[in-house]
């Protein structure tokens, strides 16, 4: 930062913003500034329309909705997977929209984790989201092994970021599978997926990634990088709605692998209604479905993906980086001396779509921000995540939010709140 920033800088950036028109696509509360899109994205008018359209197909077609209408339900998971594939750099047949994040993780690990003598361990990291670790622990336990011995978690030197060299060093000959986040959910650090995949494959280890905090936020090239598998939720940056159906990717080189958790919708479409007791799995990522598509929960994603196709993930990433950089610069300028510590990597290529700052009074500060109309995300014990989203936040949102935070800190308004998180942080 070389000059004093003002609200005019925010206005100029908004006037130059090629994505500004998409702000009108979303339902924004005029009385608040939403900075929690990395936890739950906002509803767009197109997502609302695609939900209502699918609801109408049920109303007008009944059971025939499975095969008739603009988006037949029987093929819906594949249809949406095709549209989503460009966001992860995959072939259409490598992506399927199905299940939930943790259900899909269980499916993928049960499929690709094959412990044999001398190669029985799973490599993960100590900063990953707890749900992933719970799933890995249970998968190891189901194979009669002790996860205390067979789940290796790479340590962080600073408690916030991971060093790729440390991860590679942990890729020892007893590792059977690697699972890592693409972006760390707290610090927003982007891991070098290309490098890590290359190093894993040098050692004949399969590797997968949790893309929950990167899908819709940064570009990916999963197929080019030769990633074995990945999974993600669609309710954060992809704005698919609360509890939205998740998705998974399986590299086409693994097509034909029998799913670890088979179900009716694992079937090849042409064989599914033969009702045979021997599974003929789909010859693409559809084989890794388990149950019937959750049609009404998939529906909003259809509309949301239209916006992503028009905006382009490249432009989204460019604006996201500019917004987080602008927010950090304004915070440094306006909040000097108030005790905030930034935990994000500063380099653009290593920073995801949100800022992560720490303060001893974080829980109180978040409550004060909400009462002042700024919606942040609190992470215990002392973390605040702020996510200016490229599709619906403006630079003026960023400027105004920091000014409100400055008022809270200058006047110690946070002190009237209890420094304790709510049930849902």
pLDDT at position 18 over 90: yes
pLDDT computed for residue 158 by the predictor: 96
pLDDT computed for residue 106 by the predictor: 98
Specify the higher pLDDT residue, 127 or 3: 127
Q: Which fold has domain 49-310?
A: 3.40.640
Task: Dump pLDDT digits (tens) for 85-99.
Answer: 999 999 999 999 999
Indicate whether this model's pTM tops 0.85.
Answer: yes
pLDDT at position 406 over 90: yes
Is 259 flagged in the annotation as binding?
no
pLDDT computed for residue 1 by the predictor: 53
Token couple for 15: 């006037």
Domain boundaries 7-31+312-416, CATH class? alpha beta
- How far is it, in rounded angstroms, from Cα 69 to Cα 26? 26
pLDDT computed for residue 425 by the predictor: 63
Token couple for 119: 């190669």
Give the residue-averaged pLDDT of 100-108.
Answer: 98
The overall average pLDDT reported for the chain is 97
Give the residue-averaged pLDDT of 159-164.
Answer: 97
Is 210 flagged in the annotation as binding?
yes
pLDDT at position 237 over 80: yes
pLDDT confidence of 59, banded at 50, 70, 90? very high
Q: Are 72 and 291 in contact (CB under 8 A)?
A: no
Please, where in the chain does CATH 3.90.1150.10 lie? 7-31+312-416
pLDDT computed for residue 422 by the predictor: 74
pLDDT confidence of 148, banded at 50, 70, 90? very high
Q: Are 228 and 254 in contact (CB under 8 A)?
A: yes
Is 79 flagged in the annotation as binding?
no
pLDDT computed for residue 365 by the predictor: 98
Q: Are 23 and 391 in contact (CB under 8 A)?
A: yes
pLDDT at position 199 over 70: yes
pLDDT computed for residue 49 by the predictor: 98
Is 292 flagged in the annotation as binding?
yes
Phi first, then psi: what are they for 386, rounded to 5°? -130, 120
Give the residue-averaged pLDDT of 370-398.
Answer: 97
Give the residue-averaged pLDDT of 67-92.
Answer: 97
- How far is it, in rounded angstroms, from Cα 225 to Cα 197? 7
Please, where in the chain does CATH 3.40.640.10 lie? 49-310
pLDDT computed for residue 420 by the predictor: 79
Q: What ranges make up the beta strands (E) of 63-117?
A: 95-97
The three-state secondary structure class of 350 is helix
Q: Are 180 and 163 in contact (CB under 8 A)?
A: no
Q: Are 66 and 74 in contact (CB under 8 A)?
A: yes
pLDDT computed for residue 275 by the predictor: 92
Q: Which helix (H) or strand (E) holds 58?
A: helix 45-61
Phi first, then psi: what are they for 387, rounded to 5°? -125, 95
pLDDT confidence of 419, banded at 50, 70, 90? confident
Token couple for 106: 């269980």
Is 254 flagged in the annotation as binding?
no
- How far is it, in rounded angstroms, from Cα 365 to Cα 378? 9
**304 preceded by a cis bond (ω within 30 of 0):** no
Is 73 flagged in the annotation as binding?
no
User: Residues with Cβ < 8 Å from 24, sequence gap 6 or more?
Assistant: none
pLDDT computed for residue 273 by the predictor: 93
pLDDT at position 125 over 80: yes
pLDDT computed for residue 421 by the predictor: 73
pLDDT computed for residue 2 by the predictor: 66
Is 417 flagged in the annotation as binding?
no
């Amino acid at each position: 930062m070389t000059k004093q920033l003002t609200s005019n800088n925010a206005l100029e950036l908004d006037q130059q913003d090629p994505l500004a028109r998409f702000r009108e696509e979303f339902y924004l509360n005029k009385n608040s500034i939403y900075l929690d899109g990395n936890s739950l994205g906002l509803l767009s008018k197109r997502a609302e329309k695609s939900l209502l359209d699918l609801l109408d197909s049920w109303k007008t077609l009944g059971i025939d909705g499975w095969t008739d209408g603009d988006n037949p339900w029987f093929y819906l998971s594949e249809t949406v997977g095709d549209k989503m594939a460009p966001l992860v750099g995959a072939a259409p047949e490598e992506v399927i929209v199905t299940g939930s994040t943790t259900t899909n993780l269980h499916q993928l690990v049960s499929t690709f984790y094959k412990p044999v003598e001398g190669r029985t361990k799973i490599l993960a990291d100590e900063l990953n989201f707890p749900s992933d670790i719970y799933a890995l622990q249970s998968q190891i336990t189901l194979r009669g092994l002790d996860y205390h011995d067979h789940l290796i978690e790479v340590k962080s030197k600073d408690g916030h970021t991971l060093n790729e060299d440390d991860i590679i060093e942990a890729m020892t000959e007893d590792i059977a599978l690697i699972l890592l986040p693409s972006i760390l959910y707290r610090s927003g650090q982007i891991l070098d997926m290309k490098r890590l995949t290359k190093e894993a494959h040098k050692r004949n280890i399969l590797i997968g990634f949790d893309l929950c905090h990167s899908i819709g936020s940064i570009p990916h090239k999963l197929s080019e990088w030769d990633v074995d598998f990945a999974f993600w939720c669609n309710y954060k940056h992809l704005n698919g709605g609360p509890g939205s159906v998740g998705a998974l990717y399986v590299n086409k080189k693994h097509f034909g692998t029998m799913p670890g958790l088979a179900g009716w919708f694992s079937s090849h479409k042409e064989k599914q209604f033969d009702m045979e007791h021997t599974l003929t799995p789909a010859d693409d990522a559809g084989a890794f479905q388990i149950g019937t598509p959750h049609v009404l929960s998939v529906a909003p994603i259809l509309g949301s993906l239209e916006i992503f196709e028009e905006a382009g993930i490249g432009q989204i990433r460019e604006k996201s980086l500019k917004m987080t950089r602008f927010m950090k610069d304004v915070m440094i300028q306006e909040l000097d001396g108030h005790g905030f510590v930034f935990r994000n990597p500063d380099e653009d290529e290593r920073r995801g779509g949100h800022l992560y700052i720490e303060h001893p009074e974080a829980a109180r500060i978040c409550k004060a921000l909400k009462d002042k109309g700024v919606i942040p995300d609190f992470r215990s014990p002392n973390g605040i995540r702020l996510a200016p989203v490229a599709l619906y936040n403006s630079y003026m949102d960023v400027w105004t939010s920091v000014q409100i935070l400055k008022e809270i800190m200058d006047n110690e308004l946070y002190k009237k709140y209890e420094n304790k998180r709510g049930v849902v942080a």
